Amino acid sequence: MFGEHALVHRCRRHKERNVTDVLRERDRPQILVRIRGAWSLSDHHLARERLGLLASEFDRTWPDAAASLREGMHDTLTLMRLGIDGQLAKTLGSTNLCESMIEIVRYTQRNVKRWQDGDMRKRWTAAGMLVAEQQFRRIIGYRDLARLVIAIERHALLVAEKNPTRQQTREPVTV
């Protein structure tokens, strides 16, 4: 629906690992404190400023860490820009939910040796998702999902206002 204006939120845990993996072992804890401190703020402008400052500090000594921190930094702040905080932000800040389901699907498909066609792949993937569904639990912070929907709709309206020639492909969600 949103095309180039789609909202993307990058996994913060993976970003942490990507940045800290190139640092010395002894430097990692203090850098993690600074990164997580920036992500714990409620003002995304201030958080971006602090992460940018940290990346600038890395430029001379750890250029790979600086590049990793800058790459996708904006996308690690998406939930903050939408005003989503608390438990829901903590839950959605990581891709662990999706990765768990994908791993269960892979495990379900592990013995298939000869894929016949695309329909067979879809059936096995659906079967794996049904197995994964049995392990799903309520999303931590689920009570704030309505706030997330409203924030996304607000974002969609702002995008539509900035691009009046672009047409909406569906009706806004009512909560």
Contact between residue 93 and residue 10 where contact means Cβ atoms under 8 Å apart? no
Distance CA 91, CA 145 (A): 11
pLDDT in tens, 31-86: 999 999 999 998 999 999 999 999 999 999 999 999 999 998 999 999 999 999 88
Buried b (16+ CB within 10 A) or exposed e, 52-73: eebbeebeeebeebbebbbebb
pLDDT tens-digit map of 96-119: 778 888 898 899 888 888 888 888
Q: Which pLDDT band holds residue 2 (cuts at 50, 70, 90)?
A: low
